A and B are shown apart, each in its own frame.
Chain A
Amino acid sequence: MQKIIYAVIFLCLSQLAHAKLEIEIIQGNASALPIAIIPMQWRATEPAPETGVAEVVSSDLYRSGLFDPLDEQDMVDRPIDAESIRYGTWRLLKVDYLVIGQVRDAAGGAGYDIVYQLFDVHTQEALLSQVTTVGFGDLRFGAHRVADAIYEKLTGVPGAFSTRIAYISATGLGVKQNYQLFVADADGFNPQAVVGSPEPLLSPSWSPDGQSLAYVSFEKGNSAIYVQNVATGQRDLISSGKGINGAPAFSPDGRYLAMTLSGSGNPEIFIRNLATGQKTQLTQHWSIDTEAAWSPDSQWVYFTSDRGGKPQIYRIAVTGGNPSRVTLEGEYNARASISPDGTRIAMAHGRGNEYRIAVLDTGTGRMRILTPGVLDESPSFAPNGSMILYATREGSKGVLSAVSVDGNVRQRLILAEGDVREPAWSPVIR
């Protein structure tokens, strides 16, 4: 059995070439900040890569919807240092911010230094002047770090470009159906199959250190929960009891894994202490209790329950007690994702046959629908809280989309083949 599983995994690795996600903006923002990222001088010993650092930074900032980067062909001037910047030219091009830099060998030959500066065209001030050091294979990652720093400087919110996303892809039909759990950079590049199986895979959930994924696999004929290290591939079977073993969710403090188990006869939320392996039952009700999501302080567990007749979001203290209902509007609210600051709850919001992503402001109690539908589900907050990644449909094909929390910017991530679903945005990886 073990051998078969490994064979399946290697089969998946060989299919990597087809699995790149493509991202395009489908709804932009009129007030995006005009910025020019000048192609960086290549001064390293190794040959320059096909895609330059500036190009990666530009497309990151563009995809956020908050920036309007100048096309490279419109750059009439390419300053290489602060002294050679002609601010008048950039003001004429209506560019507010300018980024210049170079890539050179890191000290000791361990990789590259990306040396860059961000200027305010109007005040002619250097807002950022930094060096980002990365290994030889990590130039794209370094570029994402640069984009993170620029994004934070100009918006006040940390960037999330150097993070990763996990998602499930399904290809083929019937007996040829194949499920894969992928991890890719946040811009869709560098996809890697973490695990593959002819039986369903679902519900990937990141550990707070971004090193591991918990997920559900039917490879043994029934649902089972595994935790797998993304880099090493080493995995542990966490739960494979009778009934459902589903909806794993790591607590942000890394101490617990919440999960849904139905061994008692119906689905209940359990909490497993990851240090001791001890399991505690959190909910007790004959209804379906599932889809646990943690508050940022790891003190509360939000979950979906139909104890009131229809699925709604409830929350319960991690120490137990009586759950209280969180969503009061709408006939179907499920699968909560909590924003990193705890002020917003994203969920799948159903009305009739239409399911959209809605966000509840926990302060005001106001619910806002962010997406057009009609079968939107699995919302996942970016670790900086700026965007929500979710699964939707185009025709009969599953695709991923991301929407800004204000609903103003929407982008689409398309995998070349198969259904893509259940995205999970990683925490910030340090």
Chain B
Amino acid sequence: MNTTWRFMLALVIAVSISACKTTEPTPEPTEAPDTKPVTEVTTAAAPDPRDYTDARNFDNSESLLSKRIIYFDFDKSEVKSEYRAIVAAHAVYVSASRSARVTLEGHADERGTREYNLGLGERRGNAVSGLLSAAGAMGSQLDTVSYGEERPVCRVSDEGCWSQNRRVEIVYTAR
């Protein structure tokens, strides 16, 4: 008897706990309808990574629009062929979105003198700017600022680091 009572009691407690448990996640059903449309949106939104007019691609790692740094060779300002597609993607966006404003921030590695490197950073920024213009961006949408070697992303004196610092950052001040 004692044991059955105890069993019953345990059962009641267990049931009530589980009842509590089920009452606790009551927001779950309300969440569920919420999550459904969200998943619908993401599936509907999963933007075509090659649609460079779609601003959501800025955060889509599949899309070239999410890549906004162009790297250069030492003392050079030619945009290398492997980066041309990235620049072309941004050119499509900027041409399509006339409210978009882009600053091309040119940088150099630490080798060489600081003021010459300001010139070099600007030349790199202008190279990217020139490609964007040629592909349809308006001059009024583009701005170039050179920081020379003053804003490195990496501070070790070797090629691995220098190659990361020789760059143009495509910075959208308006999309």
Task: Write the residues of chain A forming the contact surface with B, with a CB cutoff of 8 angstroms.
Answer: 200, 202-203, 218, 221-223, 243-244, 246-247, 260, 262, 265-267, 288, 290-291, 304, 306, 310-311, 332, 334-335, 348, 350, 353, 355, 374-375, 377-378, 393, 396, 422
The answer to whether B115 and A396 have CB atoms under 8 Å apart is: no
Given contacts A222-B145, A243-B122, A267-B122, contact A355 B111 (CB under 8 A): yes
> How far is B105's CA from A221's CA once the two chains are assembled, in angstroms?
11
Q: What 1/0 flags go to B132-174 for Cβ under 8 Å of A? A: 0000000000001111101100011100000000000000000
> How far is B116's CA from A332's CA once the two chains are assembled, in angstroms?
11
- Residues on B with C-beta less than 8 A from A375 are 110-111, 157
- Residues on A with C-beta less than 8 A from B112 are 311, 332, 334, 348, 350, 355, 377
The answer to whether A396 and B116 have CB atoms under 8 Å apart is: no
The answer to whether B116 and A291 have CB atoms under 8 Å apart is: yes
14 further interface pairs, Cβ-Cβ under 8 Å (given A200-B151, A377-B113) = A200-B150, A202-B114, A221-B145, A243-B146, A247-B115, A260-B115, A266-B119, A267-B122, A288-B123, A304-B115, A334-B113, A335-B116, A350-B111, A396-B156
B89 at the interface (CB under 8 A from A): no
The answer to whether B114 and A203 have CB atoms under 8 Å apart is: yes
B167 CB to closest chain A CB (Å) equals 16
A244 CB to closest chain B CB (Å) equals 5
Question: Please, how many residues of chain B have a CB less than 8 angstroms from a CB on the other chain?
Answer: 24
The answer to whether A262 and B119 have CB atoms under 8 Å apart is: yes
> How far is B126's CA from A311's CA once the two chains are assembled, in angstroms?
19
Contact residues of B between 53 and 84, Cβ < 8 Å to A = 75
- Residues on B with C-beta less than 8 A from A267 are 118-119, 122
- Residues on B with C-beta less than 8 A from A223 are 118, 146
B120 at the interface (CB under 8 A from A): yes
The answer to whether B157 and A335 have CB atoms under 8 Å apart is: no
The chain B residue sitting closest to A201, CB to CB, is: B150
Q: What 1/0 flags go to B94-126 for Cβ under 8 Å of A? A: 000000000000000011111110111011001
A-B interface, 8 closest residue pairs, ranked by CB to CB distance from nearest:
A288-B119, A200-B150, A335-B113, A247-B115, A334-B113, A267-B119, A290-B115, A291-B115
The answer to whether B157 and A334 have CB atoms under 8 Å apart is: no
The answer to whether B157 and A311 have CB atoms under 8 Å apart is: no
- Residues on A with C-beta less than 8 A from B156 are 396
> How far is B110's CA from A265's CA once the two chains are assembled, in angstroms?
24
The answer to whether B115 and A203 have CB atoms under 8 Å apart is: yes
The answer to whether A378 and B114 have CB atoms under 8 Å apart is: yes
Q: Which of B119, B123, B126, B150 contacts A202 (CB 8 A)?
A: B150
- Residues on A with C-beta less than 8 A from B111 are 350, 353, 355, 375
The answer to whether A246 and B113 have CB atoms under 8 Å apart is: no
Identify 26 residue pairs between A and B in the complex whose beta-carbon atoms are under 8 Å apart, listed by A's number.
A221-B145, A223-B118, A243-B122, A244-B122, A244-B146, A246-B115, A246-B118, A265-B126, A266-B119, A266-B122, A266-B123, A288-B116, A288-B119, A288-B120, A290-B119, A291-B115, A334-B112, A335-B113, A335-B115, A348-B113, A350-B111, A350-B112, A353-B111, A375-B111, A377-B112, A377-B113
> How far is B146's CA from A353's CA once the two chains are assembled, in angstroms?
22
- Residues on A with C-beta less than 8 A from B126 are 265-266
B166 CB to closest chain A CB (Å) equals 13
> How far is B116's CA from A335's CA once the two chains are assembled, in angstroms?
8
- Residues on B with C-beta less than 8 A from A334 are 112-113, 116
> How far is B121's CA from A218's CA once the two chains are assembled, in angstroms?
14
A167 CB to closest chain B CB (Å) equals 13
The chain A residue sitting closest to B110, CB to CB, is: A375
The chain A residue sitting closest to B120, CB to CB, is: A288
The chain B residue sitting closest to A379, CB to CB, is: B113
